[in-house]
Amino acid sequence: MPIFGPAKKKISVKQQVLSLPRFMNAYSNCQRCWYSYFFSNIKTLKTTTMKNVLLIGLSACLTLGFTSCKKNDLVAKPDPGGTGIVNRIDPNKIDPPAGGICLGNLTKYLLVITNGSADANWQGATKGFIGDVAVNGLLANERTSGGVPYAGMLYTNAASNGGWQGIINQNGSQSQGVTNEVPRISDLMSDLDNAFGLINAMTASAGYESVSSTSLNGLNTQNGLADMTVINITSGLQVSSKINITGDADDIYILRWDADGNPSNGYQGIAKFQSGGGVVPNGDLKASNFINVAGDISSSGGGSNPPAPYPQGPRDNDGLGNLILNGANFNGGGFFTGYWLTTGDPVTGQTHSLSNAIFVGGWYTSSGKFSMTSGTSGVYVSPPAVIVCGN
């Protein structure tokens, strides 16, 4: 299982040693991605010493897990920075129940940007964004222009917010920037790497080894049980209609948008949503029951919003509460429902310019180039218990 993105790579002993600090946080938390790193690489580690180091770390992590782990549910509370965002995840780490999936701390955020070195453009015009954002400011070439209504915390590992400081300045009463967050960003980079590896290794559910996106319209897994359905979407990557899916509150859908269904060579094709197209949760589902992986993504406007209770704008309380200051309801576009983990094009690492992309859940990307422009907006939606973990 690859751990540094969707493509398989040989990792040298030196690289393994240098990567270990990312996982040392496992000693102070009850459930860390140390487990994933250990079990994914124990067969390929090249030295007995390295195996012994990981065995010692795993033992210590297990000991701490049994003695100090505290389980907590989602809590509704005001943001400590005063931004008023509710339904944030309690900071104590908890295990996802059996059958769940762990994405680390990614699902606490609306946006996680681990690269953006060629271009990280976040600009208006937009209906607005609500949710926390984390960016690798040591790499990202941040820029912005126009008005960007935003409510949330902006975290960076750099000494300043760079080109995105203007967004904070525009939204002083509902946003705040936090700098020098090196461990936070490093952990999120690890979480994204591990999530790709975990999802890539999953076996597609029977009957969903290679399907078109539109064939999922009418899918119903509502049976009172917590089901996980892993789906390879290999055709119909351009979506301009609403895809209605019905399920239970703890159902999880893993959607792999990949034209050849082979993540070892990267996610092929462009997942594009337009004209009001997108996945629409029904039954007891909400947007965050869907986890998507893709390479390049694109979007354009037109069409209409999915009907309520699908979030209609950048609103608090998982998109069901009040609009943020200067925010406005969505007016069609391309709806990216759920948590989207993307790499950019598997060859160039770049993402197509996003016009009227509506992120409902979260977007976590290692793409080296992206531009959120002309109508692109976002609303954070908290995860169901089966994918809650992190610290």
**Both tokens of residue 205?**
């559910």
**What per-residue confidence (pLDDT) applies to 4?**
36
pLDDT at 390: 63
| Dist CA 268 CA 266 (whole Å) | 6
Phi first, then psi, for residue 322 (nearest 5°) are -90, 145
The model's pTM: 0.77
pLDDT average per 10 residues of sequence, the chain (391 residues): 37 37 36 38 43 46 36 31 31 46 95 98 97 98 97 98 97 98 98 97 97 98 96 98 97 98 96 98 98 98 98 98 98 98 98 98 98 97 88 64
- Among 133, 140, 263, 278, smallest CA distance to 198 is for 263
Provide DSSP, 153-185. EEEESSSS-GGGHHHHHHTTTTEEEE---HHHH
Nearest to 333 by CA among 374, 272, 271, 274: 274
| pLDDT of amino acid 99 | 57
Q: Give me the residue spans of the domains in the chain.
A: 13-68, 119-387
